[in-house]
Structure 1
């Protein structure tokens, strides 16, 4: 498994799978290099990490995705660690992410050293969104 900054050639792959973002933003985020893609040994895209910036300052991981066959094999951890290293190399001292309180992802992020740093309740979703931060 290897990781690289995604470019516009991955648009269709991501568009088919990412149901959690405004489609009109996807190409902009690809151009801004805010996707990292995971490639298997056959050089096929099998996952990605999408991020943005909280307060236009702190890198915020918005989505971590892998095709079913590649889940629970340690690739997510490696992709997050790759992203953290990229953010560190860019001079960032802290990163952020979030997970709903009814999702297992919260346990994954805590294992990676992320700390609970607050929460958010949205009117459109009854689940509590837990905010996580990690010093790099």
Structure 2
């Protein structure tokens, strides 16, 4: 059998060990405090970032409201523009119809002129009257 020797620490040894533990505790406490301080700074940065983000969202909401107003105005102006285009198209159709009627009248007048040219007597009488009027003093 082996002998087991148990050494009891003296009071001086215990005090040294206690100082070391306290010193270690101070270092650990300081390190922990440094970590907490760093975490606090990070939290402050995150809070500041969140405030900037909140302000950005407020600006975006204002911008969205302005854009909604502009969208409404654009829609109104687009409707007015479409109505104007429709009126222009209607006027164009009317002008085309008038042009067709004028063409038809011109064809009729050409037909009448052909008839007049074929009837020399009517033209001669007409020319005779014009010559008579030219010779007179109309004053």
Q: Taking structure 2 as the reference length, what is the TM-score of the superposition?
A: 0.16
Which structure would you say has the larger RCO, counting Cα contacts within 8 Å and 6 or more residues apart? Answer: 1
Q: Which of the pair has more CA radius of gyration? A: 2
Higher strand share: 1
Higher helix share: 2
Q: Taking structure 1 as the reference length, what is the TM-score of the superposition?
A: 0.16
